[in-house]
Amino acid sequence: MQLSKNITLDQMIASKVAQEKGFDNTAPTEIITNLQQLAEKILEPVLAHFGGVLDITSGYRCKALNDCLGSSDGSQHCLGEAVDFGIIDTDIYDIAAWIVDNLDFDHLILEKYNPQDLNKGWVHCSYRHTQPNRKIIQTFDGKIYHDGLLKLPLQG
């Protein structure tokens, strides 16, 4: 099923951990609208700007998968409102900064950023279409910014 022009439902529910553990990570019908909004409002604009190959490491998570990964009970992944991703050979810092400057989002985290390895780490970004987005920005070092420009300290 296509969620948007370039994003499929299969991409947003794929999980190696779920497959290995035998978890059914099928998104319930009521979650699919959230996934469509996330694809259209976050992933499609990022792809249109940067091009390249999208690498989704985690989209929707069933409760069993979320628990197995040690994520919080309130994870937006379980609601289909969050995605962890990058674009192969594109600096995730640049992706995160572009999202902050150009898109409406709820919570953005730059995770495990390493400027020496463009394919390490990921951007966690959530989007809520049923309530106002909070524009929370959090970095790999735990700093949180609200409604501000992304000013991340560089590791190294």
pLDDT less than 50: residues of the chain: 146-150, 152-156
pLDDT for res 143: 57
Q: Are strands 107-111 and 136-138 parallel, antiparallel or unpaired?
A: parallel
pLDDT for res 140: 66
CB 121 within 8 A of CB 26: no
Q: Which domains does the chain have, with CATH numbers?
A: 9-146 (3.30.1380.10)
pLDDT for res 151: 52
pLDDT for res 138: 84
pLDDT for res 142: 58
First to last CA, the chain: 42
pLDDT for res 47: 98
pLDDT for res 69: 94
